[in-house]
């Protein structure tokens, strides 16, 4: 049984998400989940149960908010605030910044007789009069979702440290209760004050998130990167004595392998694919689609026409939705469509305008694939290998290599001691306070 033969619809959707390092968080979710589990396991083995508990709380807690906080808040606002304002959350406000493009869209939409576009026609009628409302709502959604997620991240890190402190206090008291009572003749109140010191909570200021560029509001990967900056800053500020270098190392690995290397690794696999006549630039949904060879052949006239067009946007909207090229462009994620319950494409949506450079690139890749179609089985296998290899490399680097390097650094700086120096220091202080009391 080969790899292409076992790809189901659900696994194909996952593979497609993992392959998209530009706008899908699926790859980040899988990398983060695998690496977090590996981190917790490594620290439990090397640093002890308290170290492992802290890593579990921090990595999975912050990971969940980092990956799902912004999309969740945005989804809630889409269902509540947008209907109250009488606007559509599906509109891409960037359309409003390009008057020429907006005019072309309106003309194409008005000339279309497709009944499935009736809702979009209604939205575009009042679009320009509500331009300020659309832009304001989008900026507010971006800001609110980012800030709320950032606050939640800070609370997770504070909770982790407080939980460890309480556990150390409780464990120490349970293991040394008799010794404490003998050494302290005063009474239980003194013991209580020794083990439950009252300290004011630190007020950590995030400072300003800075003026976010417009691109960060539209791209979920870049929007999430803002949270990563907040996580890094908060972790470094909240880091206890002796663990700041470990925190800095972990964050450097995270940022490097999540944001900096994902695309270059993908490009590397694509370069190798070209060299061995196995082009893999297209989305898995295209490569694994049924009747691909026939669809590309039937689409060649439309592909060549679009590549020679002076107005790709207008020509795309004029395509017959039954043209197989529409389905191929949709599967590759460069156009948005309206579908029926059975998945059949009923219309090309006007709410999200196609990116002309992405469309041209897809068209060229389809033609390139057409010349190598006899290698399709091995192309699909290599695409799967490339996607999973990209994920596996990042997960290994963040979840296995990083903690081993961090623990090696910990041993070097602490005379061979595997344990978290911050936890060791807490235990030392607890012991000292108890005996001095």
d(C-alpha 203, C-alpha 208), whole Å:
15
3-state class (DSSP) for residue 310: coil
pTM: 0.72
Contact assessment for residue 227 and residue 150, using Cβ atoms and an 8 Å cutoff: yes
Domain ranges, residue 385: 3-91+127-279+372-436
Structural domain count of the chain: 1
| In a domain? residue 85 | yes
Residue 222's pLDDT is: 67
Neighbours of 130 (CB within 10 A): 18
| In a domain? residue 43 | yes
| In a domain? residue 335 | no
| In a domain? residue 290 | no
| In a domain? residue 53 | yes
| In a domain? residue 401 | yes
Residue 30's pLDDT is: 87
d(C-alpha 51, C-alpha 40), whole Å:
8
C-alpha distances (whole Å) from 334 to each of 96, 218, 220, 327, 358 are 19, 15, 16, 10, 6
d(C-alpha 401, C-alpha 413), whole Å:
18
Per-residue pLDDT of the chain (437 residues; tens, 9 = 90+): 454 444 667 888 888 888 887 777 788 888 888 888 888 888 888 777 777 777 787 778 777 877 788 888 889 999 999 999 889 888 888 888 888 888 888 888 888 888 899 888 888 888 888 888 888 888 888 888 888 888 887 787 777 667 766 766 666 556 555 554 444 444 444 333 444 444 443 433 323 333 334 555 666 666 667 766 777 777 777 667 777 787 788 888 888 887 788 889 999 999 999 999 999 999 999 999 988 999 999 999 999 999 999 888 889 998 999 999 999 999 999 999 999 888 899 999 998 888 889 999 999 999 999 888 888 999 999 999 999 999 999 889 988 898 888 888 888 877 777 777 767 776 677 666 655 55
| In a domain? residue 395 | yes
| In a domain? residue 367 | no
d(C-alpha 57, C-alpha 164), whole Å:
10
């Amino acid at each position: 049984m080969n790899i292409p033969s076992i790809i189901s619809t659900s696994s194909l959707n996952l593979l497609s998400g993992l392959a998209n390092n530009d706008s899908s968080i699926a790859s980040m979710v899988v990398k983060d989940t695998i690496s977090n589990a590996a981190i917790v396991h490594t620290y439990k083995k090397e640093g002890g149960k308290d170290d492992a508990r802290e890593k579990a709380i921090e990595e999975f807690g912050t990971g969940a908010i980092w990956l799902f906080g912004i999309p969740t808040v945005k989804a809630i606002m889409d269902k509540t605030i947008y209907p109250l304002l009488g606007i559509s959350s599906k509109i891409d406000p960037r359309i409003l910044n390009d008057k020429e493009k907006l005019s072309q869209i309106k003309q194409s939409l008005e000339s279309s007789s497709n009944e499935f576009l009736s809702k979009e026609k209604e939205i575009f009628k009042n679009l320009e009069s509500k331009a300020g409302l659309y832009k304001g709502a989008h900026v507010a959604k971006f800001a609110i979702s980012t800030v709320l997620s950032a606050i939640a991240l800070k609370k997770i890190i504070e909770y982790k440290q407080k939980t460890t402190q309480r556990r150390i206090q409780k464990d120490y008291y349970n293991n040394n209760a008799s010794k404490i009572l003998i050494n302290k003749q005063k009474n239980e109140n003194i013991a209580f004050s020794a083990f439950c010191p009252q300290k004011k909570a630190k007020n950590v200021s995030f400072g300003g998130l800075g003026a976010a560029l417009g691109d960060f509001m539209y791209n979920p990967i870049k929007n999430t990167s803002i949270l990563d900056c907040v996580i890094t800053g908060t972790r470094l500020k909240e880091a206890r004595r002796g663990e700041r270098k470990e925190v800095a190392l972990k964050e450097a690995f995270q940022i490097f392998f999540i944001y900096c290397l994902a695309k270059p690794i993908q490009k590397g696999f694509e370069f190798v694919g070209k060299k061995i006549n196995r082009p893999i630039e297209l989305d898995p949904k295209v490569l694994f689609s049924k009747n691909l060879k026939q669809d590309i052949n039937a689409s060649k006239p439309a592909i060549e026409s679009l590549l020679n067009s002076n107005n790709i946007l207008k020509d795309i909207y004029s395509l017959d939705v039954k043209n197989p090229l529409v389905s191929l462009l949709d599967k590759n994620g460069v156009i948005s469509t309206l579908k029926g319950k059975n998945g059949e494409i009923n219309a090309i949506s006007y709410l999200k305008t196609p990116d002309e450079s992405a469309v041209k690139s897809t068209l060229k890749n389809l033609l390139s694939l057409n010349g190598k179609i006899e290698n399709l089985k091995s192309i699909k296998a290599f695409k799967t290998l490339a996607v999973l290899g990209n994920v596996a490399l990042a997960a290994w680097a963040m979840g296995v290599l990083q903690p081993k390097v961090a623990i090696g650094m910990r041993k070097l700086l602490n005379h061979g001691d595997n344990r978290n120096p911050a936890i060791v220091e807490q235990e030392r202080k607890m012991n000292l306070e108890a005996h001095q009391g």
